[in-house]
């Protein structure tokens, strides 16, 4: 068990944590959520002992071990296997240094060295110790990465480095595993593998993530950090969000009831004051004082207006209606880099109003396909046809199309804003204040660049959005605000994203790039995934166009190397029916949640409460 009580943390005069509490029990899978900058990583650093500059209490079992997989780690001149066993190698060097020191000291100094050596040797033997290399190789073999053992870190993909960082932490078989944004750089297959791994890990796991699909699949509890304080919610991410929405509806109803009561009391006080002024009766003066006292106490006891849990900002896209039935038609498109063919002779059609997701393994050519379609369209190449009444807006993954030396106002004017006030109004819903208009594009963060590109699409009144990872660098409330806007968007969407929760809400069709071809699947991401891949997640790394990697490693799971994780793999009889039932119920849940959120925003609290009851019933059916 690990417990933190009344944790306070400041950076300068700014309070990051103000009385935060958490208690993690053995085997529990906990998600930690909050806006960017809320203090999630800071809190975890305190829990792991990396940050000792705080006030409060952290308790941990005497023999309990904890390992953390950070969000980022520096790429050094090490091979994969050297990186995985590096902590053990450091212990061995320290032990060797102490052994050498023993030979040259005696008396009390020798006692001191022997004590230090004994403590370090106990720690070494309690960890992977002499088995470190064999455990590390077994881990790599089980994931089909055995041939990467001697590969330099710099030559590995971001996803492969993530898997190595996890393996390094697992060598010590920790009781508590802390994962900070573990899904970074993993594609759909890597994320599916990670979900299964965390679910089956025998120890407790704390996950900091913006990946709502991951939090839904693995967590039994959500801890929210907001305003420096923590709040615990039983269930997965969807249960947390539903509870927040239901609480907001109840809180809003109570707030309105209190407002109405105060309004009535104020009317009574005003009436009594008028009567007291017109008469000389002391009794009316006493009645007036009593009513005023009642009014003040009622105001003091009144509930505050609850925070809006639906969105962090309100966004909408104005668009010109398209008169065409066809948004995009691609015929015989091919692309290769040297001898490597990304896609060959691809043909597809997207009709006006469709919301289409483009998915595939890392390196399969998804972003290249989008860029090639746009390039050929601008060149008026006959292989790419865009409907004549379509206004296209492309939001790229790294905002390559924006001049880094220009100001935000400059790019807004280029997009069609006629005045500074037009630009300000267009940017305000995307959380850009007036003073940001003179800010250079090159100074913006990844999240700000994504929000700016979406704002520019609105200025252009685009009716065809081509989006490449639009939720990258955004916190969960911002993602949900964008989703709500895209659900209301009347135009056409073609989107590349690793955010499966986003794709389940937005996409009505999935295009998969695999082995140089593109195949179309009707339905959202979950329907596509189950129909295409079922529950097969035996490898976290998948080569583009080549199926799952098998570099000589066998299909063993990480069981022997992480303390008991079992093989996940074949579909049980009847799993297809059950999985499809869950997919349908989750789609119904998302629809009810969206309708409840809309009712809340519109102030129709009675309807929101009714939908909340239906939503809760559907959620319980999903969990059952």
In SS3 terms, 197-262 reads as: HHHHCCCEEEEECCCHHHHHHHCCEEEEEECCEEEEEECCHHHHHHHHHHHHHHHHHHHHHHHHHH
CA dist 551 and 530 (Å) reads 26
Return the closest-CA partner of residue 373 out of 411, 347, 337: 347
> What is the pLDDT at residue 541?
61
Return the closest-CA partner of residue 403 out of 388, 394, 414: 414
Express each pLDDT in 104-151 by its tens digit.
888 889 999 999 999 999 888 888 889 999 988 988 888 778 888 898
> What is the pLDDT at residue 92?
93
Q: How many residues does the chain have?
A: 624
Tell me: pLDDT of 565 over 50: no
> What is the pLDDT at residue 311?
55
Share of the chain above pLDDT 90, in %: 35
For the residues 361-376, what does the mean pLDDT come to? 90
Express each pLDDT in 141-184 by its tens digit.
887 788 888 988 888 877 888 888 888 888 888 899 999 888 87
In whole angstroms, how far apart are CA 122 and each of 91, 129, 223? 11, 10, 35
The pTM of the full predicted model, rounded to 2 decimals, is 0.73
- CATH number 3.40.50.300 given to 328-523: yes
DSSP state of 321: P
Express each pLDDT in 248-292 by its tens digit.
777 777 788 888 888 888 888 888 888 888 887 888 888 888 889
CA dist 426 and 432 (Å) reads 9
Tell me: pLDDT of 570 over 60: no
> Given 3-state DSSP classes, what are the helix, strand and coil percentages for the chain, each rounded to the nearest 5?
50, 20, 30
Structure tokens at 83: 């990186």
CA dist 266 and 286 (Å) reads 16
Quickly list DSSP for 94-134.
HHHHHHHHHTT--THHHHHHHHHHHHHHHHHHHSSGGGHHH
> What is the pLDDT at residue 571?
44
CATH assignment, 2-241:
3.40.50.300
Q: Which band of pLDDT confidence, cut at 50, 70 and 90, is reported for residue 544?
A: low
CA dist 366 and 354 (Å) reads 18
Range in 156-165, 343-352, 412-421 the model is least confident about: 156-165
In whole angstroms, how far apart are CA 443 and each of 115, 121, 406? 53, 50, 10
Quickly list DSSP for 326-366.
EEEEEEEEEEEETTEEEEEEEEEEEETT-EEEEEESTTSSH
Return the closest-CA partner of residue 197 out of 572, 563, 558: 558
Distance, C-alpha 525 to centroid of its chain: 17
Question: Where do the H-state alpha helices sit in 382-499?
Answer: 408-415, 420-427, 446-459, 476-488
More confident residue, 597 or 579: 597
For the residues 486-496, what does the mean pLDDT come to? 92
Helix (H) or strand (E) segment spanning residue 394: strand 392-395
In whole angstroms, how far apart are CA 192 and each of 175, 307, 537? 23, 33, 6
CA dist 517 and 512 (Å) reads 8
> What is the pLDDT at residue 569?
43
> What is the pLDDT at residue 577?
60
Mean pLDDT of the residues in the chain: 84
Structure tokens at 461: 């009144």
């Amino acid at each position: 068990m690990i417990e933190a009580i009344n944790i306070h943390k400041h950076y300068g005069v700014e309070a990051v944590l103000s009385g935060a509490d958490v208690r993690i029990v053995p085997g529990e899978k906990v998600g930690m959520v909050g806006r960017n900058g809320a203090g999630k990583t800071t809190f975890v650093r305190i829990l792991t002992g990396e940050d000792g500059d705080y006030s409060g209490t952290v308790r941990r079992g005497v023999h309990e071990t904890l390992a953390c997989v950070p969000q980022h780690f520096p790429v050094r001149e090490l091979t994969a296997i050297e990186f995985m066993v590096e902590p053990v190698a450091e212990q061995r060097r320290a032990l060797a240094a102490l052994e050498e020191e023993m030979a040259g000291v005696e008396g009390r100094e020798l006692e001191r060295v022997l004590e230090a050596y004994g403590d370090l040797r106990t720690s070494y033997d309690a960890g992977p110790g002499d088995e470190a290399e064999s455990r590390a190789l077994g881990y790599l073999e089980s994931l089909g990465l055995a041939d990467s053992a001697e590969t330099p870190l710099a030559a590995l993909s971001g996803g492969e480095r993530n898997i190595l960082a996890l393996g390094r932490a697992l060598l010590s078989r920790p009781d508590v595993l802390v994962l900070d944004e573990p899904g970074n750089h993993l594609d759909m297959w890597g994320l599916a593998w990670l979900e299964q791994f965390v679910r089956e890990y025998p120890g407790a796991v704390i996950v900091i993530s913006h990946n709502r699909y991951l939090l839904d699949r693995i967590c039994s509890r959500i801890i929210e950090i907001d305003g420096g304080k923590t709040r615990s919610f039983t269930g997965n991410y969807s249960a947390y969000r539903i509870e927040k929405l239901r609480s907001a509806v109840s809180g809003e109803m109570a707030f309105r009831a209190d407002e109405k009561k105060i309004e009535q009391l104020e009317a009574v006080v005003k009436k009594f004051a008028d009567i007291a002024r017109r008469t000389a009766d002391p009794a009316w003066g006493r009645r007036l004082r009593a009513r005023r006292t009642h009014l003040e106490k009622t105001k003091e006891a009144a509930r505050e207006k609850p925070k809006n849990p639906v969105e962090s900002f309100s966004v909408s896209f104005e668009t010109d209606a398209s008169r065409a039935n066809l948004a995009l038609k691609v015929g015989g498109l091919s692309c290769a880099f040297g001898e490597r063919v990304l896609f060959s002779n691809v043909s597809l059609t997207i009709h006006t109003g469709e919301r289409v997701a483009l998915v595939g393994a890392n390196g399969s050519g998804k972003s290249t396909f989008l860029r090639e379609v746009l390039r050929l369209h601008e060149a008026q190449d006959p292989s790419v046809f865009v409907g004549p009444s379509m206004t296209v807006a492309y939001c790229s993954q790294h905002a390559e199309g924006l001049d880094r030396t220009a100001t935000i106002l400059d790019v807004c004017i280029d997009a069609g804003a006629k005045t500074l006030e037009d630009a300000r109004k267009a940017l305000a819903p995307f959380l850009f204040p007036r003073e940001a208009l003179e800010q250079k594009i090159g100074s913006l963060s990844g999240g700000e660049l994504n929000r700016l590109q979406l704002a520019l699409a609105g200025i252009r009144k685009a009716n065809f959005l081509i989006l490449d990872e639009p939720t990258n660098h955004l916190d969960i409330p911002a993602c949900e605000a964008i989703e709500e806007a895209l659900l209301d968007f009347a135009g056409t969407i073609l989107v590349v994203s690793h955010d499966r929760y986003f794709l389940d809400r937005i996409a009505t069709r999935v295009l998969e790039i695999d082995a140089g071809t593109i195949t179309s699947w009707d339905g959202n991401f979950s329907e596509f995934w189950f129909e295409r891949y079922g529950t097969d997640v035996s490898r976290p790394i998948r080569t583009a166009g080549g199926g799952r990697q098998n570099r000589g490693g066998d299909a063993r799971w990480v069981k022997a190397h992480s303390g008991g994780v079992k093989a996940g793999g074949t579909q049980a009889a009847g799993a297809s029916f059950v999985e499809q039932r869950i997919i349908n119920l989750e789609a119904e849940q998302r629809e009810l949640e969206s309708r409840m959120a809309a009712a809340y925003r519109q102030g129709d609290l009675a309807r929101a409460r009714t939908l909340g009851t239906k939503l809760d019933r559907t959620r319980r059916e999903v969990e059952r």
